[in-house]
């Protein structure tokens, strides 16, 4: 069974990486509005992604206003593609397993199973 990347698998970080995969770069305000995360949560998730090498963070000023830009690195894009493949494989595995369960459950429904009552607990 494939091992999912725990850094990307977390819901907020997956949203950030997916958003960054569709653009060249995104500023902090855009990411905060798109993900609906608080400033603190977004900062923490970006720091985790940066530590993993999946995101580059650039701090700059637009006039006197600080601006934080985030970019997906080539490693981040590769990790996202790998994650998608592994998740698809898991979903297909689950889909195939559920098909097998339905087939077996039909067979079990046709063949009656004798039920035995549970034994009463023994008291000392």
**pLDDT tens, 61-72?**
989 999 999 999
Helix (H, G, I), strand (E, B) or coil at 56: strand
What are the residue ranges of helices labelled H in the chain? 6-9, 11-21, 28-35, 39-51, 74-110
pLDDT, residue 119, reads: 54
CB 43 within 8 A of CB 61: no
In a domain, 118, yes or no: no
Residues of the chain with pLDDT below 70 are 1-2, 98-124
| Residue span of the structural domain in which 78 resides | 6-104
In a domain, 109, yes or no: no
In a domain, 42, yes or no: yes
Give the contacts of 15 (CB within 8 A, at least 6 positions apart).
Answer: 34, 35
pLDDT, residue 91, reads: 86
Read off the CATH number of the domain in which 88 is found: 1.10.10.10
d(CA 35, CA 73): 19
In a domain, 39, yes or no: yes
């Amino acid at each position: 069974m494939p091992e999912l990347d725990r850094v990307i698998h977390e819901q907020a970080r997956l949203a950030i990486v997916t958003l960054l995969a569709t653009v060249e770069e995104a500023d902090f305000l855009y990411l905060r509005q798109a993900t609906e995360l608080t400033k603190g949560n977004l900062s923490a998730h970006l720091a985790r992604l940066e530590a993993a090498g999946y995101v580059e963070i650039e701090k700059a000023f637009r006039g006197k206003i600080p601006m934080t830009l985030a970019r997906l690195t080539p490693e981040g894009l590769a990790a996202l593609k790998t994650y998608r493949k592994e998740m698809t494989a898991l979903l297909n595995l689950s889909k195939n397993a559920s098909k097998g369960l339905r087939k077996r459950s039909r067979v079990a429904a046709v063949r009656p199973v004798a039920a035995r009552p549970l034994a009463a607990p023994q008291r000392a």
